[in-house]
């Protein structure tokens, strides 16, 4: 079963616009991670945010975490065509060691 | 290339045949994970190892699936008597266990299995 749910399922924007994806989860977590997957390829780790952190930045990426609402968001600023991919959130449970993935958001950036 | 490597990248097999996939993790990583991913879905956890010990298996993992990690290095995933429903991308990932907070997992490119 998948713990995380991403929203929206699909997002289409113009190059240069910002893209925001949301993730909700159900159980207490140790950390939450975001991954990117290009079509038919493996997953690439983007950013990890720990349960005691509220916001984290990495280049054009900004991730927030609200543990009271059990939700996270990923913001990609100034999007590029190369950002076109599926984006997944994954949670590491408080007393577990595996990552549980959501179904992902498909992002399409039009040039 | 010092990333996670998986072999083969693609496998087509007839229903009922056995298949085996190999994963070579990043050398210093002590955790190794297997996931399965079908079209339009996120990766689904199958099993994970810490060193050579298999510490967790998904209830989704039927008796036809077996994984090993001899000597805590590479890992193999075998599917016996394959069924069409086994068609999927099989992903391997590795990470370094840490005392707190967890660390990111690094994924291989996957093995795409097609059962005909």
**Which is more confidently placed, A38 or B102?**
A38
For residue range A42-99, list pLDDT tens digits in order: 899 999 999 999 999 999 999 999 999 999 999 999 999 999 999 999 998 877 778 9
Instruction: Answer whether residue A40 shows pLDDT above 90.
Output: no
Nearest-neighbour CA in chain B from A111: distance (Å): 24
Is there a contact between B38 and B18 (Cβ–Cβ < 8 Å)? Answer: no
Cα-trace Rg, chain A: 13
**Predicted confidence (pLDDT) per residue in B64-111, tens digit:** 999 999 988 999 999 999 999 999 999 999 998 765 656 789 999 999
Binding-site residues on chain A for chain B (CB distance < 8 A):
2, 4, 30-31, 33, 35, 40-45, 48, 50, 88, 90, 92, 96-104
Q: How close, in Å, is residue B88 to chain A by CA atoms?
A: 11
Tell me the backbone φ, ψ of residue A109, rounded to 5 degrees: -110, 115
Give contacts of B102 with chain A, Cβ < 8 Å. 30-31, 48, 50, 92, 97
| CB count in 10 Å sphere of residue B56 | 15
Tokens representing residue B98 in the block: 């840490």
Nearest chain A alpha carbon to B109: A42
């Amino acid at each position: 079963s998948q713990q995380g749910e991403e929203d929206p399922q699909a997002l289409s924007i113009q190059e240069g616009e910002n893209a925001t994806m949301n993730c909700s989860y159900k159980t207490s977590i140790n950390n939450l991670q975001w991954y990117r997957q290009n079509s038919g390829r493996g997953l690439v780790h983007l950013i990890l945010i720990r349960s005691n952190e509220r916001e984290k930045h990495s280049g054009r990426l900004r991730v927030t975490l609200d543990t009271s609402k059990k939700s996270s968001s990923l913001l990609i600023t100034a999007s590029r065509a190369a950002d076109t991919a599926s984006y997944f959130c994954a949670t590491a449970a408080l007393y577990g060691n595996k990552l549980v993935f959501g179904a992902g958001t498909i992002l399409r950036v039009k040039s | 290339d010092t990333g996670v490597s998986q072999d083969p990248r693609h496998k087509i097999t007839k229903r009922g045949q056995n298949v085996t996939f190999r994963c070579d993790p990043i050398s210093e990583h002590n955790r190794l994970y297997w996931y399965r991913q079908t079209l339009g879905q996120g990766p689904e956890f199958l099993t994970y190892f810490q060193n050579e010990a298999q510490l967790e298996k998904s209830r989704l993992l039927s008796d036809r699936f077996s994984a090993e990690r001899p000597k805590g290095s590479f890992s193999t995933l075998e599917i016996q008597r394959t069924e069409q429903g086994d068609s999927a991308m099989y992903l391997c990932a590795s990470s370094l266990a840490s005392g707190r907070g967890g660390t990111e997992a690094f994924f291989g490119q996957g093995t795409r299995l097609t059962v005909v």
